[in-house]
């Protein structure tokens, strides 16, 4: 039986997910200690990281869209088995940077494979495991791309360099998924300052997990 809390962070590239996640982890760790597990997709273990390298390698220009979608799902499966399920089974809170909604938005809508096909294929990979809560960082594609191009120096990967129209399809798809899943997905205005984004997300997490935190965390 699962007793933990599974929270995914979603949104376009440059929305500020990783930046916010770092601050949130710093704020939550004193209260949750070992009961907080932070992880990212695709990756989190040896096999999934190897798959991640293949997906994001800019040399792999010949990669077929469905191959890409299957690789993401394969990496996700391994990540669930090695990281997410064990943590949830021992009652921990799992914060995951990207999950199934990313595949639906990027491969389903961005690559135009079809959102239903990609979702169905992911149901096989996940055996139906969805987050208890998803925070969606909403930002216009132009702003997200500008943030990546001007600020980020670590990695500009194969997906970042796609056309603006690709990123617009991704955002539109995310907004539709959020609209269709109002009980799971909370939308954050990610154009706000970093501090305001972090406080909005923390409010939602505290609200959804009353009892997990002591009073000082509220």
Q: How far is CA 145 from CA 14, 55, 82, 151, 166, in A?
A: 6, 20, 32, 10, 11
Residue 182, token pair as written in the block:
């109002």
User: Which run of H or of E encompasses 58?
Assistant: none
Q: Which of 95, 136, 69 is nearest to 4 (CA)?
A: 95
| 13 known ligand binder | yes
79 binds, among ligand ADP, Mg ion, none (CB under 5 to 8 A by kind): none
Give the nearest distance from C-beta 183 to Mg ion in angstroms. Answer: 25
Contacts with Mg ion in 15-74 (CB under 5 A)?
Answer: 17-18
| Residue nearer to ligand ADP on the CB measure, 31 or 191 | 191
Give the nearest distance from C-beta 148 to ligand ADP in angstroms. Answer: 6
Does position 146 interact with ligand ADP (CB under 6 A)? The reply is no
| Beta strand segments in the chain, E | 5-10, 36-40, 93-97, 133-138, 185-189
Give the nearest distance from C-beta 178 to ligand ADP in angstroms. Answer: 16
Report how far residue 218's alpha carbon sits from residue 216's, in angstroms, rounded to the nearest whole number.
6
| 125 known ligand binder | no
Report how far residue 99's alpha carbon sits from residue 7's, in angstroms, rounded to the nearest whole number.
10
| Residue nearer to Mg ion on the CB measure, 10 or 200 | 10
| Residue nearer to ligand ADP on the CB measure, 35 or 199 | 199
Stretch that binds ligand ADP, among 77-85, 87-95, 101-109, 190-198 (CB under 6 A): 190-198
Stretch that binds Mg ion, among 13-21, 77-85, 106-114, 131-139 (CB under 5 A): 13-21
19 binds, among ligand ADP, Mg ion, none (CB under 5 to 8 A by kind): ligand ADP
- Asked whether 156 and 149 are in contact (CB, 8 A), the reply is yes
Does position 13 interact with ligand ADP (CB under 6 A)? The reply is yes
Query: DSSP state, 33?
Result: G
Report how far residue 113's alpha carbon sits from residue 120's, in angstroms, rounded to the nearest whole number.
12
| Residue nearer to ligand ADP on the CB measure, 19 or 48 | 19
| 11 known ligand binder | yes
- Name the β-bridge partners of 186: 135
| 67 known ligand binder | no
| Residue nearer to ligand ADP on the CB measure, 69 or 188 | 188
Report how far residue 58's alpha carbon sits from residue 1's, in angstroms, rounded to the nearest whole number.
41
Q: Which residues bind ligand ADP (CB under 6 A)?
A: 11, 13-19, 147-148, 151-152, 192-194, 197
Q: Which residues bind Mg ion (CB under 5 A)?
A: 17-18
């Amino acid at each position: 039986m699962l007793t933990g809390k599974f929270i995914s962070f979603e949104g376009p590239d440059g929305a500020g997910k990783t930046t916010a996640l770092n601050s949130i982890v710093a704020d939550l760790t004193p209260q949750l200690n070992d009961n907080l597990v932070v992880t990212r997709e695709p990756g989190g273990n040896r096999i999934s990281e190897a798959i991640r390298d293949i997906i994001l390698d800019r040399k792999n220009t010949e990669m077929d869209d469905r191959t890409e979608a299957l690789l993401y799902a394969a990496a996700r499966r391994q990540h669930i088995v090695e990281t997410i399920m064990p943590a949830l089974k021992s009652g921990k809170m799992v914060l995951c940077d990207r999950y199934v909604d990313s595949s639906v938005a990027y491969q389903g809508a961005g690559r135009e494979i079809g959102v239903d096909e990609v979702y169905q294929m992911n149901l096989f990979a996940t055996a139906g495991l969805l987050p208890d809560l998803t925070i969606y960082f909403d930002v216009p594609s132009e702003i997200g791309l500008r943030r990546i191009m001007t600020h980020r120096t670590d990695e500009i990967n194969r997906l970042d360099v796609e056309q603006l129209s690709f990123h617009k399809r991704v955002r539109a798809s995310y907004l539709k998924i959020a609209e269709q899943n109002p009980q799971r997905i909370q939308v954050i205005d990610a154009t706000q300052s970093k501090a305001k984004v972090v406080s909005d997300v923390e409010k939602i997490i505290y609200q959804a997990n009353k009892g997990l935190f002591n009073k000082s965390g509220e």
